[in-house]
A and B are shown apart, each in its own frame.
Chain A
Amino acid sequence: MSHSGRREPTASLSLLDATMVGIGAMIGAGIFVLTGLAVDISGPAAIVAFALNGGVTTFTALSYAELAAAIPRNGGGYAYVREVFSAPVSFVMGWTRWFTYMIAGSLYALGFASNFIEWGHLYGIELPGPAVGYALFAVAALVTLNALSTEASGKGETVITLVKIAILGVFVAFGLTAARTGEFRPLFSKGALSVLPAMGLTFIAFQGYDLIATVTEEVENPRVNIPRAIILSVVVTVIVYLLVVFVAIGTLGAEALGGAGETAIAQAAEGFMPRFPVIGTGASLIAFGAVFSTISALNAVVIGSSRVAFAMGREGQLPARLGRFHHRYGTPLAAIAASAVLMLVAVVVVPIRVVGNLASLFSLLGFVVVNLALIRLRSQQPDLQRPFEVPFYPVTPILGIVCNLLLGLFIDPFTWALALGWLAFGGVVYLVWSRRRERPRDEAEAAEIQAPEPIASAEEGDD
């Protein structure tokens, strides 16, 4: 039986593996899908947006590193916030994290669909039907895979990530010779302030390192390796992003890149990549990379979203049914199914740019709360053992909060309205649910102090 609470005596993930979990979730979908849209907003200055986002993310990544090293809990950011704040705050955190993963899933599914069609197009195959159909199919397939077995979906992450990095490496290697710095003049062709909305849109590409926090129990020498893996994965990702964006803008030019939307990277590759044997043009290699990356990122968020719903179910903040494994498949089936429904709805209903903004906004808000949790934990629990400490405390987390809030302000009002709508819906769920379970568990248990110990044989299958 696969059990998330089970601690295996053999820690199986090395520093490399753990770092790859973080990189795998970040590199890929965001860079392939969002680069074109960001360039459309801010011109060549999109590269500045990516660089600044890297800086902003680092502040929060440091906070994550401190919390993950000190608090051995499954559930990532939600678990840390649950440790520090009252029930309503942690509910908001869990509720927005859950939504972020689902909405990111929808973003990756849509990105997969356009790149898949583009890929076929490069081979001269016109794929029938609307892109949404392929996106829906991808979500359905991965959800089914995850619902049936956790084993099948969790393996091979390191290999998949290395393939992604290799493909982008080829792109950068050829592109650096072809890129013209002239394309970056003028840098702020759409005004310096246009960088901010571009940052807001692409911020989602920088979230995902927190997935490391969900596999902490399997990492070797976790006290040291978890903080390292988190910081390393952010640094590597930012470097790769900057190189890729530099090459894309430097070769295709901001104008054309902005027009290409979510297949921008593949179109940039078409201009300078040589033909490869078997694969065909360089563009098809990149399109393949995009298809591959979006699928693996989609898989990561399907797992991530179901874990958050599962953790909330265990904590009694959502119906307990979500926090239970299915008796036949041994997976958190209810949590996966609930996440799948929203992902499918978002794929059909919400346009891709709004999806990107929504996902970014919620991860910004989530990161604000994580930084607050760090500050509050320092003052509430000064004697807590912290194997890793954020440097320059309290400047670093405060900068994290300020930058995240600032970026949030530059996301358009329509996105804010949708976000507030989801929060309001969450508030209703919370009120209804907390009223239903008004009888606190402690009272019920205190009544039977002398309850006999469970028999040894009944210990294993606890749910």
Chain B
Amino acid sequence: MNSTPDTDTDTDVQDLRVILAGGGEMGVRTAELLTDRGHDVVIVEADAERCRELTDAYLATVIEGDAARPETLRQAQPRRSDVVAALTDDETTNFAVCMAAQRMAPEVRTVMRVTATPDELYEEYVDGLVFPERLGARAATNEIAGGGVRTIEDVAGDVEIVEIEITEAAPVAGKRLDEVRLPRGTLIIVDYQGNRLGGPDTVLEVGHRYVVAVESDVADEVMNLMRG
């Protein structure tokens, strides 16, 4: 994709070496996605039975043991890796793995899975946080609430990106954007054809879907305006 291959692609052409601590469902799915993109994965998993299943899957090199034990983690070679991701279902184990990995390899990027509402201070210690329950809640909400509104992505903090279908009953139905007043904290990103950014002349037509960035405290108001 890059037009200037020699200058800026040293980093992105390389495959990453990734250590995944925890070979449960989440670890396996992550390993699948990573190997599909050409990265090399090492999984550390404590359960012997699960290890056999993982080796059968032939997705990644598998090391049997508790990743929170330095002796086991060292075998996965954090120093030679780009990322260590602790994905077990135990938050303190994950934190311990990330801390140990950073001690063994100061350069390595750490990603940890949190299982409760994330402690804000985690960000000082690890490079990335994964909160599967929150992603799961988003998926669940999309399914439960059904068509019309679909959360696409939690960006950072309080902004949510949603896809909203305009209903007939919506106050703004059929109006041009410059005729309506959406609350502050709302931005129509993409218009219904998906090929233009929203602007003053965007018409909100019934039955079409729009991608909208919305701050959480005005979300309710926006839904009211666009859904009725």
Tell me the A residues contacting B by CB distance below 8 Å: 3-7, 70-73, 83, 216-217, 221-223, 313-316, 319-321, 323-324, 380-385, 387, 437, 440-446, 449-450, 452, 459, 461-463
Contacts and interface: CB of A to CB of B under 8 A. Distances in A.
Interface string B46-76: 0000011011101111111100000010011
B55 A385 contact: yes
Contact of A463 (B12, B63, B82): B12
21 contacts: A71-B61, A72-B59, A223-B58, A313-B13, A315-B14, A316-B10, A320-B9, A321-B5, A324-B5, A380-B75, A383-B63, A383-B65, A383-B75, A384-B62, A385-B61, A385-B64, A387-B55, A442-B109, A450-B156, A462-B1, A463-B13
Q: Is the interface of A mostly helix, strand, loop or mixed?
A: loop
A158 B75 CA distance: 39
B15 A315 contact: yes
Contacts of B58: 72, 216-217, 222-223
Interface of B: 1-2, 5-6, 9-15, 32, 35-40, 51-52, 54-56, 58-65, 72, 75-76, 82, 107-109, 127-128, 155-156
Please give me the 4 A-B residue pairs with the lowest Cβ-Cβ distance, nearest first: A5-B38, A442-B107, A385-B62, A320-B13
B36 A72 contact: no
Contacts of B63: 381, 383-385
Nearest to B80: A83
B23 to A, nearest CB: 10
Nearest to A462: B37
Contacts of B38: 3-6, 314, 462
Contacts of B55: 70, 223, 385, 387
B14 A316 contact: yes
B36 A382 contact: no
Given A324-B5, A384-B62, A385-B64, A7 B10 contact: no
A222 B54 CA distance: 12
B91 to A, nearest CB: 20
B8 to A, nearest CB: 10
Given A70-B61, A217-B58, A223-B56, A459 B37 contact: yes
B32 to A, nearest CB: 7
A449 B155 CA distance: 15
Contacts of A452: 155
B15 A314 contact: yes
A3 B32 CA distance: 15
Contacts of A440: 107
A449 B35 contact: no
A72, A221, A382, most chain B CB atoms within 10 A: A72
Contacts of B32: 7
A69 B180 CA distance: 64
Given A5-B36, A320-B14, A72 B61 contact: yes
A404 B38 CA distance: 33
B6, B32, B38, most chain A CB atoms within 10 A: B38
Given A5-B38, A445-B109, A321 B82 contact: no
A437 B10 contact: yes
Nearest to B5: A321
B16 to A, nearest CB: 9
Given A71-B61, A319-B6, 15 more contacts: A6-B36, A7-B36, A70-B55, A70-B61, A314-B14, A320-B5, A323-B14, A384-B61, A384-B64, A385-B62, A442-B108, A445-B11, A449-B128, A462-B1, A462-B12
Contacts of A444: 11
A236 to B, nearest CB: 24
A59 B190 CA distance: 62
A38 B201 CA distance: 83
Nearest to B9: A320
A446 B32 CA distance: 24
A450 B37 CA distance: 21
A73 B127 contact: no
